[in-house]
A = this chain, B = another copy of it.
Amino acid sequence: MSTARDQILDTMCELLELQGYHATGLNQIIKESGSPKGSLYYYFPGGKEELSAEALSRVGLVVLNRIRQHLNTIDSPAQAVRDFIVNIAHNVEASGYRAGGPITTVAMETASSSDRLRLECQGIYTRWQDAFAAKLSSPDAPDEVAHALAGVILAAIEGGIILCRTSRSQKPLLNVADAMAILIDQRR
């Protein structure tokens, strides 16, 4: 199994989260991954765009599993979501406010310049939203309400990450965590 390919992908995932799409050069990728440029184009003939799409897909799945796993550890939907967001806040802080929101930057950068990457991000966001929605449906809250609420939670998290990284503080996400818990308990 090609570990070279995996290393390139892992490096790309990291750099996209840290710097975004346009700030990440292929030379940096091959340097940090230790793989030569020849291998990069051997494994990803589509170049930077194809490599980015696969990297996004990979990190999207990792996060999806993290969401599902975390939400399953706590029974109460409100407390589960709250705890999950608090956890993100801690991770963002732990990275020195350099990481967090692995697809956020790329989503904005490519929303109107690359349909391939935009659709990749859209698919990931949809799956994340569905994962939240699954935790929020109940006899009192029909699927449509749960899905809409899940979208609001996702938006607040993404925006909260932006504010945390910009202000170098956990507060925005912590406030989001509390607010979302309130919102979940009010749903019907």
Query: Across the two chains, which residue of chain B brings its CB closest to A120?
Result: B166
Number of interface residues of A (CB under 8 A): 49
Does A77 make an interface contact (CB < 8 A)?
no
Does A91 make an interface contact (CB < 8 A)?
no
Q: Is the CB of A163 within 8 A of B156?
A: no
| Identical chains bound together, number | 2
Query: Across the two chains, which residue of chain B brings its CB closest to A155?
Result: B159
Among B20, B166, B182, point to the contact of A22 (Cβ < 8 A).
Answer: B20
Give the chain B neighbours of A130 by CB distance below 8 A: none
Chain A, residues 108-122, CB within 8 Å of chain B (1/0): the string is 110111000010011
Determine, out of A31-39, A68-76, A146-154, the stretch whose residues face the partner at the interface.
A146-154
Give the chain B neighbours of A167 by CB distance below 8 A: 122, 125-126
Query: Across the two chains, which residue of chain B brings its CB closest to A98?
Result: B112
Interface residues, chain A, with chain B CB atoms under 8 Å away = 18-23, 96-98, 101, 104-105, 107-109, 111-113, 118, 121-122, 125-126, 148-149, 151-152, 154-160, 162-163, 165-167, 171-173, 175-176, 178-179, 182-183, 186
